[in-house]
Amino acid sequence: MNELKFISSLHKHKEITMKNRQNKLERNLISSTPKWVVAAVICFSFCAIWMLFNHRWGAAVDSNEQTSLRRRQQQLRPNPPDDHNCSSKAKERAEELLRTYKEAEEAIKALDISIGKLRGELPSATIQNDHTGEKSSERNVSAKLANTKNTKEKAFMVIGINTAFSSRKRRDSLRETWMPQGEELRKLEREKGIVIRFMIGHSATSDSILDLAIDLENEQHNDILRLEHVEGYHELTAKTKSFISTAAAKWDADFYVKVDDDVHVNLGTLAATLASHRSKPRVYIGCMKSGPVLSRKESKYHEPEYWKFGEAGNKYFRHATGQIYAISRDLAAYISGNLPILHKYANEDVSLGAWLIGLEVEHVNDHSMCCRTSQECEWKKQAGSTCAASFDWTCSGICRSVERIKGIHTRCGEDPSTIWNVVL
Strands 224-230 and 251-260 turn out to be unpaired
Inside any domain, residue 54: no
Name the packing angle between helices 168-175 and 401-412 (round to 10°): 20
Give DSSP secondary structure letters for 120-156. Answer: HH-HHHHHHHIIIIIHHHHHHHHHHHHHTTTTPEEEE
Inside any domain, residue 250: yes
Q: How far is CA 29 from the centre of its chain?
A: 107
Q: Residue 129's pLDDT band (boundaries 50, 70, 90)?
A: very low
Domain count, the chain: 1
Mean per-residue pLDDT for 405-409?
Answer: 97
Strands 283-289 and 319-328 turn out to be antiparallel
pLDDT single digits (tens) 190-228? 999 999 999 999 998 878 899 999 999 999 999 999 999
Ranges assigned E (strand) in 164-240: 194-202, 224-230
Q: What is the mean pLDDT of the chain?
A: 80
Share of the chain above pLDDT 70, in %: 65
Cβ proximity of 283 and 221 under 8 Å: no
Per-residue model confidence (pLDDT) at position 173: 98
Most confident of 78-82, 118-122, 380-384: 380-384
Closest CA to 338 of 314, 354, 322: 354
Inside any domain, residue 47: no
At residue 162, the 3 state secondary structure works out as strand
Closest CA to 157 of 73, 273, 263: 273
Mean per-residue pLDDT for 378-384?
Answer: 94
Q: How far is the C-alpha of 208 from the C-alpha of 88, rounded, in Å?
A: 29
pLDDT single digits (tens) 324-355? 999 999 999 999 999 999 999 989 999 999 99
Inside any domain, residue 89: no
Q: How far is the C-alpha of 414 from the C-alpha of 420, rounded, in Å?
A: 12
Inside any domain, residue 311: yes
Q: How far is the C-alpha of 44 from the C-alpha of 56, rounded, in Å?
A: 19
Lowest mean pLDDT among 3-7, 122-126, 171-175, 303-307: 122-126
pLDDT single digits (tens) 42-69? 555 555 555 554 444 444 444 454 555 4
| Dihedral over Cα of 54, 57, 61, 67: its sign | positive
At residue 322, the 3 state secondary structure works out as strand
Inside any domain, residue 403: yes
| 125 Cβ neighbours under 8 A, 6+ residues apart | 118, 119
The answer, yes or no, to whether residue 285 has pLDDT greater than 60, is yes
Angle at 413 between CA 408 and CA 418, to 5 degrees: 170
pLDDT single digits (tens) 229-248? 999 877 899 999 999 999 99
Q: What is the DSSP letter of 206?
A: T
Q: Residue 29's pLDDT band (boundaries 50, 70, 90)?
A: very low
The answer, yes or no, to whether residue 87 has pLDDT greater than 70, is no
Q: How far is the C-alpha of 351 from the C-alpha of 185, rounded, in Å?
A: 31
Per-residue model confidence (pLDDT) at position 122: 45
Closest CA to 396 of 266, 232, 238, 261: 261
At residue 169, the 3 state secondary structure works out as helix
* pLDDT higher at 260 or 89: 260
Inside any domain, residue 19: no
CA atoms within 13 A of residue 295's CA, in its CB half-sphere? 10
Per-residue model confidence (pLDDT) at position 37: 46
Q: Which domain holds residue 265?
A: 108-419
Per-residue model confidence (pLDDT) at position 225: 98
Cβ proximity of 340 and 242 under 8 Å: no
CB atoms under 10 Å from CB of 279, counted, come to 7
Strands 194-202 and 153-162 turn out to be parallel
The answer, yes or no, to whether residue 21 has pLDDT greater than 60, is no
Inside any domain, residue 302: yes
The answer, yes or no, to whether residue 387 has pLDDT greater than 90, is yes
| 167 Cβ neighbours under 8 A, 6+ residues apart | 261
pLDDT single digits (tens) 135-178? 555 555 555 555 555 689 999 999 999 999 999 999 999 999 99
The answer, yes or no, to whether residue 110 has pLDDT greater than 50, is yes
